[in-house]
Structure 1
């Protein structure tokens, strides 16, 4: 079982009743995200949301090898939440997953609800929750921001993979050992989480160095020390 299949599930990986339950969870979660996004979106955040969705789409389409015969892809949930907030971030990831399933047949239609639940809901909530807990460190200086982004993205990836393990335990093929599946999925997504953390830190750091006001996590307080512009010294009379 590859990491890409485990995280981005195909049809038949879990049974119909469990797929239906998590389909309902996904619909409710996306409805809540749309309601929250209406409050967060404005002339400044709407273009950023579009860029975030495009970036997440591109990164999820790129699979990279982990072990011989095993590959994985980035999720982008923490990245989206840190840049545009949890509601808009969840909506961005959810839209990406729908487009991938309908247009590119990446992820099965019957498993779409489970995929949205794992990556757009569980992953985004976990990544953003960690970022909020460490927000004071992120606002202190640039190294702090990069460290927070890395940790949030790592946690996002591992916790989202835990959602798949739960779904497989409820409706997966009993011929497979749950312990073996869980160990394989968690181990592989720890490795994927390192790559996710690095890309998230570099991307958010690049945006914050130019426009820290566009980073949702940094709003509401003074800019990080290393990102603030030092005022010019007054001229002597």
Structure 2
């Protein structure tokens, strides 16, 4: 659902840019509370993993494909504020390096794909986990539903922005029907990917899933024929547990997906591209400012072998995303540490 330049007029694109900048600023502050010594190194990996999986377009209908948006996955894994930052880093890398998503539409894309998906998914996830049994399986089910709903929600958000600032005169009802219809199907794929990923991480390291912390139901004991809560014991220290194996596994998986599996992704246009072509939304689409980038369209310039070109581009993208993302989250985490140290010194004095 990467919106190109020319779909939305300049004034509305500018307003969306201000909204996106404000959301990123709020998320930078909020992420300081979410990131700790274990999760901060993983946040960059989450961004890289989402970048890799977004390269894997899957067919959803005749001549139409879809790909992961990732807002639900990021929010549940590392928290909603950090999730917005993860998606923003991915969109920035895609726009600058690969000419995917317009640069003037970056604010629109962050608002639609980053903010809306993350907020909707996390709010729904927390609501579901509050009423479902407090088990890891329930967390996986909640992740599935939250991811499913987040995608058509993003489609509705795009349609609203298009209704205000669209550059073509297309009946908004037709745009809404087409966008929501195809993105419900894409949402099913998003839901499966999100649930499988969340379930896999919960199975091996539930302490690393932000949204699943504290979901285990209290142990029950039968005393005198009645079930009572077992005495609470001190939890095993998880902060000292290394995340090196998880990081290595995740990074290798991202490289394999982007460098090899992406070659077998569907070549059909994604949901927005298909709707834009069918309804005429793309009549005033503009060429991307980075169209001459050596990595434009997810291929390495002057490498003639399509498999090698796409694979190298994917590997470079994963590497760049994990480097930039890790740098951003290291700074955010360091800022929190500095503030905590300053506060401690002040209290001592």
In structure 2, which of residues 55, 59, 74 is the aligned counterpart of residue 80 of structure 1? 74
Where 1:134 maps in the other structure, the secondary structure is helix
Write the distance in 1 (CA, Å) between the matches of 2:133 and 2:203: 13
Pairing 1:219–2:213 present: yes
Match of 1:235 in 2: none
Q: Deviations over 1:152-202 (max 9, x none)?
A: 101111111111001110111343221111111100110000000011111
Match of 1:204 in 2: 198
RMSD (CA atoms): 1.7
Q: How many residues align?
A: 219
Match of 1:155 in 2: 149
Deviation at 1:70, TM superposition (A): 2.4
**Pairs within 5 Å for 1:67-106:** 67-106=61-100
CA spacing shift, 1:145–1:122, aligned 2, 3 Å: same
**Pairs within 5 Å for 1:169-188:** 169-188=163-182
Deviation at 1:51, TM superposition (A): 1.8
State TM-score, norm by structure 2: 0.60
CA spacing shift, 1:143–1:63, aligned 2, 3 Å: same
Deviation at 1:49, TM superposition (A): 0.8
Which has more radius of gyration? 2
Name structure 1 gaps, 5 residues minimum: 1-6, 226-237
- Please say which of residues 81-90 and 57-66 is displaced more in the overlay: 57-66
State TM-score, norm by structure 1: 0.87
Match of 2:188 in 1: 194
Q: Say if 2:71 and 2:84, in contact at 8 Å, map to a contact too.
A: yes
Runs of 4+ that moved beyond 4 A: none
Write the distance in 2 (CA, Å) between the matches of 1:40 and 1:78: 16
Write the distance in 2 (CA, Å) between the matches of 1:99 and 1:198: 25
Greater RCO structure (CA 8 Å; 6+ sep)? 2
Write the distance in 1 (CA, Å) between the matches of 2:129 and 2:78: 15
Match of 1:59 in 2: 53
